[in-house]
Structure 1
Amino acid sequence: MKMLSKFEFLSFFLMVGSILSFMFSSMFISQNLIYFYEIELFNMNSVAFTYIIYLDWMSVMFSSIVLMISSLILVYSKVYMGKECHQFLWLTVLFIFFMIIMIFSPSSLGVLLGWDGLGMISYCLVIYYKSASSYNSGFITAATNRLGDSMLMLSVAWFSLSGLFIFFESSMIIFFILACMTKSAQVPFNSWLPLAMAAPTPISSLVHSSTLVTAGVYLLIRFYFCYSGTFLITILLISSFLTIFIAGVSALQEFDMKRVVALSTLGQLGFMILILCVGYPYIAFFHLLVHALFKALLFMCAGSIIHSSMGLQDLRKMGSLNLDLLVKSCVNISLLNLMGLPFSSGFYSKDALIELTYFNFGGVGLGVLLLILISMTIAYSMRLIIYFSLGSWILFMESSLKMTFSIIILSLLNIFLGVYMNWMIQELYLICISIMVKLMPLFIIMMGVCWHATLKLMKPVTWFVMGMLFMTNLTKMTSYLIMLSLMILKVVDQGWFESFIYNLKISTSKASYYLYKHSFSYISIGSMLLIISFL
């Protein structure tokens, strides 16, 4: 009962903070307010080290979404984790704390503090279930994110040459771009995100919706005008296209339910960076918020299915699910938002994304390529619906009332909050296009089901792509490196090298004893020679 009160108190506290933040964000937008607070920590050699807090409508609104999803996940995880919830609770709170630090910090030092905290806590959560696969996944996740942190450290070192730690006051931004690409799992750093599914499902819903993987995209949006006129835009655009394609093909061939949802996250991150490279950072931010809502809902529904079926995750063993009608409806709501069905929350961001891509420097060709990639999203979403609806009958237990309550609240937010945010933050773009071009996304939705049949004829291509362009095979080398290090430890440190050190120790001790034994005679002889020399 005491633990229940802790979860309820923290959830209530985060929900109140989320509501207040959302109200403040509306005020910030209407009055165009920006607050900039600088706190001086200490001075060293005339260089002031300060912590900076930057408050505007974007940071306040994103923090509102993070706190809202976190409050519902805390209630959800109390039932999901059971007796293991105490340790999980404080890890989740620390995870949220470091994410909030990163959101409100425009300085490289503050961002580095938040990113290091996110990487450390994410490693602890990925290896939460003790097994060889979780340790391997945690190592790959931590190593890849640490690579991004090292890029950020290089940018901090570069910035410190001028005594400044603000991103937009420096011209050296390439390290920052690489750091964001690793954190948002873009090609060639995309292999760690599906492996992070070893973490418990409640933390996966938090990580893949609004915290760890979206941190890189959020910072790219915040500091878009630092690199918007450089060649880095083209690199990000190519990387985003490859990421969407790899995620779509892999999701169409995957049978692990959690990995399919994780690969859909990878594809949606590619869409955010794509529209950002096209030149519309606010649309990318809008899609970031909408994606956080429906992806958290999808993960929570998947966790409810796993929890009710005693750990079943294989799609081939699912069908005619005997779940609550409310949970089934919430699954469909999340998948329809993922597909961008008209007048759903996902529709408002994806429709603007498609139409604005037609009128950029890439022209209609880039827009058609984007439609093809979106059809892959439709294909694996329909594949999930089909697997949930057809197949053999399996009896599932009913979900807990608290889990169902969290899912229903998040479903209502998915239905109504997307429209409200569209009215609040989306800029007014007057786009005049023909009816045929306007209806093309609907034709793509109808044609998206054909992708699965097409990929069966391209098995070599799918094998190459499902390996994340061989990046997954490279990351598997970590297990061989660990075996090599154990062999070196056994042969060198615990083998001949240890005996050599032991013999050296014995020889040294004997020599020191000999010198100690004969030191008095040497001293007496030296004293006599000294007296004779004086005489």
Structure 2
Amino acid sequence: MKVYLFIFYMGMLCMLLMFYALIFLLNKILFFMSWTFYSILGVNISMIIYFDWMSMLFFSIVLFITSFVMFYSLEYLGGVKFINLYMYLVLLFVLSMGLVIYSPNLLSILLGWDGLGLISYCLVSFYQNFFSYKSAMLTLLMNRIGDLTLILSLCFMWSKESWFFMFFEDGGFVIISFLLMVSGFAKSAQIPLSIWLPAAMAAPTPISALVHSSTLVTAGVYLFLRFSMIYLLSFSYFLLNMLTLFTIFMASMVALFIYDLKKIIAMSTLSQLGLMMFFYSFGILDIVFFHLLIHALFKSMMFMCAGILIHYLGDIQDIRLMGGSGSNNLMFTMNSLVISSLALSGLPFLSGFYSKDFLIELMLMMNSNWFLYSGSIFLLMLTVMYSLRIMFFLLNLGNFKVFMFKESESMIMSLSLLMLSVSSVFSGIIFLNLLFMSEMIFLGYLDLCKPLLMLFMSVFICYYFFNLDISINMNLFKFISLMWGMNLIISYINGVIYKFMLKFLVELDKGWSEEFLLGILKKLIKLSFNLLNIYFNYIYMIVIIWSLFIMI
């Protein structure tokens, strides 16, 4: 009963925050609170809370998704021994995300940033097996890179005598911007820090729905949005463009070749995060934030649908063994999965259509170079293809492999899917009219038809590709499924670092620090004994001379 009340209060807080976000947006209100705890060398150590429409709207979406994830978890993890611990960890996870969202101060952001990494370790290792522990450690260590660069950026900002980085309006912050870019890349799993994202699939599926929709991986994108003023003034976007394009292409290709349902959805998350970072580099920040909100809603629903399929099909995650799932008593789940996949594809008048269509239209208006424009269109087509691939395997009766269902769909899980399905259908048009009431874009008919043409071409290519009997070289398949060999590269780098640290330990800690320092200590002790002998000999000589003088 306490859990139900807590979920209810969380839902009410979500509605209240969304209401105030609308008021703040329409009236252009900002609310700023600061508590100074200590001052050292002219730098104030303060706790800052910054309320504006963006932070309140984003946190309301986080609470909205979290409430249904916790409600969904009551059935999904109902028989788990540590269900209460799980609920407390989810609560701490959301509170850490709240620190990141509401604070403009890098020092207090670091608390939430580090909290996300530590609690994600606990959640990924929740099932307490060897694979979970290994995946949790990889997730923690890769996120530690972002923590390190965030701490280094704090050290560099000490010279500015302030940690209010988001309010600086002058340029010359290239080093700090680069460090924060690495922090955002580590949290958002961009190339070359991407390998922890599929490893985090060892967590329970409700946690995957929360992590990959509105909390951990989106924290990097939100950090970029909050500190966009410094990036726009001091950072070259060529590196950001190239890395995000490679991230989208790599994630899309992996999603087109692997067969693990959760990892396919995780790769689609990585692709969409790369898409947000790519369009962020053009300065269209409000549209990126709009897509961030929309993506959080339908991606959480997609993970929940995958969790129900895995739960009721005996922990099967291979999409080749899930054919014909919609023909049995998982019809509502499959309908919800189709809605979320079509929203991800950008089907007209679903939520994903409004954000993606808006991004393409702005790309047409910006007179960007041909390579970036054609590359973004091609990568958006890959998004449609891997979304259709999921539906092809799960709905294809000719690939019917499902032999047993445990029982019919749970009412608790279905209710969570119903609310998220409604939001995935209508949130796009609602947020579009709220956030961009004064925006008017006039394009020709040919430009307006380009997104639809891209969608139909993707459907045709996908249908033709999946009906061909193509044999793929196993080495090529391994190369793509291992994320272009990044797992092997990172493992090799980790091995080199481990050997270096082992040699460092042997040579310095057990070598120089013992032999050199102890050798100096031995020499000093020996020297002190020699000096002591000289001192006693000197005293002895004085005594003898004094005795001889008395005798004479």
Q: Same fold (TM over 0.5)?
A: yes
CA distance in 2 between counterparts of 1:160 and 1:388 reads 54
Identity of aligned residues (%): 36
- Alignment-derived partner of residue 309 in structure 1: 313
Deviation, 1:412, is 1.4
Residue 349 of structure 2 contacts residue 425 of structure 2 at CA under 8 Å; is this kept in 1? no
Change (3 A) 1:193 1:534: farther
Residue 269 of structure 2 contacts residue 299 of structure 2 at CA under 8 Å; is this kept in 1? yes
CA distance in 2 between counterparts of 1:159 and 1:530 reads 65
Residue 350 of structure 2 contacts residue 425 of structure 2 at CA under 8 Å; is this kept in 1? yes
Deviation, 1:403, is 1.3
CA distance in 2 between counterparts of 1:190 and 1:206 reads 18
CA distance in 1 between counterparts of 2:69 and 2:259 reads 25
> Which residue identity lines up with residue 68 of structure 2 in the other structure?
L
Structure 1 residue corresponding to 2:186, chosen from 182, 196, 199: 182
> Which residue identity lines up with residue 483 of structure 2 in the other structure?
M
- Alignment-derived partner of residue 383 in structure 2: 377
Deviation, 1:138, is 1.6
TM-score, reference length from structure 1: 0.87
Deviation, 1:446, is 2.3
- Alignment-derived partner of residue 253 in structure 2: 249
Deviation, 1:111, is 1.1
> Which residue identity lines up with residue 396 of structure 1 in the other structure?
F
TM-score, reference length from structure 2: 0.84
SS in 2 for 1:357: helix
> Which residue identity lines up with residue 385 of structure 1 in the other structure?
M
Deviations 1:226-285 (A, max 9, x none): 111444322111111111100110000010000000000000001111111122000000
Trace 1:208-287 onto structure 2 (pairs within 5 A): 208-287=212-291
> Which residue identity lines up with residue 29 of structure 2 in the other structure?
L
Structure 1 residue corresponding to 2:404, chosen from 371, 375, 395: 395
Where in structure 1 are there 5+ consecutive unaligned residues?
501-526
Deviation, 1:75, is 0.9
- Alignment-derived partner of residue 51 in structure 1: 47
SS in 1 for 2:281: helix
CA distance in 1 between counterparts of 2:369 and 2:209 reads 36
Change (3 A) 1:58 1:105: same
- Alignment-derived partner of residue 519 in structure 1: none
- Alignment-derived partner of residue 207 in structure 1: 211
Deviation, 1:335, is 0.8
- Alignment-derived partner of residue 481 in structure 2: 466
- Alignment-derived partner of residue 11 in structure 1: 7
The answer to whether residue 368 in structure 2 is matched with residue 362 in structure 1 is yes
CA distance in 2 between counterparts of 1:366 and 1:455 reads 33
C-alpha RMSD of the superposition: 3.1
- Alignment-derived partner of residue 424 in structure 1: 434
CA distance in 1 between counterparts of 2:498 and 2:160 reads 45
Number of positions where the alignment pairs a residue of Structure 1 with one of Structure 2: 507
SS in 2 for 1:210: coil
- Alignment-derived partner of residue 412 in structure 1: 422
Structure 2 residue corresponding to 1:344, chosen from 344, 350, 354: 350
CA distance in 2 between counterparts of 1:356 and 1:203 reads 34
- Alignment-derived partner of residue 66 in structure 2: 70
- Alignment-derived partner of residue 79 in structure 1: 75
Deviation, 1:178, is 1.4
> Which residue identity lines up with residue 467 of structure 1 in the other structure?
L
Change (3 A) 1:400 1:480: farther
Change (3 A) 1:115 1:31: same
- Alignment-derived partner of residue 289 in structure 1: 293
> Which residue identity lines up with residue 419 of structure 1 in the other structure?
I
Residue 188 of structure 2 contacts residue 217 of structure 2 at CA under 8 Å; is this kept in 1? yes
SS in 2 for 1:341: coil
CA distance in 1 between counterparts of 2:544 and 2:412 reads 99
Deviation, 1:457, is 7.8
- Alignment-derived partner of residue 136 in structure 2: 138
- Alignment-derived partner of residue 513 in structure 1: none
Residue 198 of structure 2 contacts residue 263 of structure 2 at CA under 8 Å; is this kept in 1? yes
Change (3 A) 1:318 1:486: farther
CA distance in 2 between counterparts of 1:156 and 1:479 reads 26
Deviation, 1:466, is 3.4
Deviation, 1:7, is 1.7
Where in structure 2 are there 5+ consecutive unaligned residues?
515-538, 548-552
Structure 1 residue corresponding to 2:392, chosen from 367, 386, 401: 386
CA distance in 2 between counterparts of 1:483 and 1:31 reads 56
CA distance in 2 between counterparts of 1:455 and 1:470 reads 26
Residue 357 of structure 1 contacts residue 366 of structure 1 at CA under 8 Å; is this kept in 2? no
